[in-house]
């Protein structure tokens, strides 16, 4: 999926870390479910807790939020339309969705690389084909 609020295969712990770092009621993200293959989790921050709602993709490609018994089930053609619906107050979530927590544009973690003086590069051998183009 190409939506910035969709974080894909991150752990529950990483999700909690991201939402807690933002720390604003109504912050949310969507991730893959760890326990139900093919399902998604809508994770919402409210009052220092993370609430998780399961989203299923039906065989026709539409999306549906898992609800408790007796609560109406709505089907949405796209994930953004589901998200837009739950941005409205009083839709059955602990709080309406307000602030998407977007994934980093880079998927890899940054690394710090340290070099010792013994690992630095020597000057290349100067041969006939070597031309010095940089000023001294």
pLDDT in tens, 53-107: 999 999 999 999 998 777 788 999 999 999 999 999 998 899 999 999 998 876 4
CA distance 91 to 68: 13
Mean pLDDT in the chain? 82
Query: Residue 89 contacts by C-beta under 8 Å, 6 or more apart in sequence?
Result: 96
* Residue 128: pLDDT band with limits 50, 70, 90: low
pTM for the predicted model, two decimal places: 0.74
Residue 14 has a CB neighbour count (10 Å cut-off) of 12
Per-residue DSSP letter, 5: T
In this predicted structure, the answer to whether residue 110 has a pLDDT above a threshold of 70 is no
- At 70, which CATH number? 3.30.505.10
Position 30 in a domain: yes
Residue 85 has a CB neighbour count (10 Å cut-off) of 15
- Domain containing 96 equals 12-100
């Amino acid at each position: 999926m190409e939506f910035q609020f969709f974080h894909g295969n991150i752990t529950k712990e990483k999700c909690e870390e991201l939402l807690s770092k933002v720390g604003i009621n109504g912050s949310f993200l969507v991730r893959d479910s760890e326990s139900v293959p093919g399902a998604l989790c809508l994770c919402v921050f409210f009052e220092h807790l993370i609430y998780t709602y399961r989203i299923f993709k039906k065989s026709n490609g539409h999306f549906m939020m898992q609800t408790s018994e007796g609560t109406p089930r709505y089907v949405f053609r796209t994930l953004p339309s589901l998200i837009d619906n739950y941005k409205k107050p009083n839709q059955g979530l602990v709080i309406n969705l307000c602030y998407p927590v977007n994934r980093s544009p880079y998927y890899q973690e940054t690394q710090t690389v340290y070099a010792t003086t013994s690992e630095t590069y020597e000057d290349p051998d100067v041969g006939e084909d070597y031309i010095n183009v940089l000023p001294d």
